[in-house]
A and B are shown apart, each in its own frame.
Chain A
């Protein structure tokens, strides 16, 4: 059974810091990995999707990497802002677009 772990569970940083969120998964047989953002009481917003054949994806201040063989992904956020405060979820696609999620990292960026 695929299991996804996210570390740390919570993170508090001052504005402007660069930070890294970690995700690991137990079965390397994945189609892709997706990072989501979830604001309190809201739905999920897709940030980045990395196909299993790719090593990284970038969008603005966000960069996600994937090492499928070791079962790891990282989400790098550059120059963090208070608006980045949210819960970040990592999910692996195990087939038919069905996702196995980690429990998330709750990020707080203080001004």
Chain B
């Protein structure tokens, strides 16, 4: 099993550009989520999904869109990048019942 994979590892954007951060898991987990990690702020939940076709907002959803068409994939879209979205983004998946969370290696995003 590859676990949770994220691409790209690093990305630099200009203000106003859009992009999609990819996340995939091969453990057949129902739950997937996106977090951002900022210095002094810890990790904060952006969006989450409890299954294909079902998503909901977390603590800091503004400026981000998600969809979940398959169990395996949960992409995060930045609609119009802003410098405030400079952060490290982590994707996680979990299985109903055990609740252990598995995290991807992260995507380091810089918005100029």
Contact = CB atoms under 8 A, between A and B. Distances in A.
A89 interface: yes
A93 interface: yes
A103 to B, nearest CB: 4
Interface string B70-112: 0000000000000000000010101010011111111000000
Interface string A71-102: 00000000000000000010101001111111
A106 to B, nearest CB: 12
Interface residues of A, number: 23
Contacts of B101: 34, 44, 46, 91, 97, 99
A98 B33 contact: yes
Nearest to A31: B99
A36 B50 CA distance: 22
A90 B104 CA distance: 17
Nearest to B31: A97
Interface stretch (B14-22, B35-43, B61-69): B35-43
A99 B31 CA distance: 12
B41 to A, nearest CB: 7
Interface residues of B, number: 25
A102 B42 contact: yes
A43 B91 CA distance: 10
Contact of A49 (B41, B43, B100): B100
B59 to A, nearest CB: 8
Contacts of B43: 89, 91, 99, 101
A24 interface: no
Contact of B48 (A32, A42, A96): A96
A97 B103 contact: no
A62 B73 CA distance: 33
A46 B102 contact: yes
Interface of A: 31-32, 34, 36, 42-46, 49, 51, 89, 91, 93, 96-104
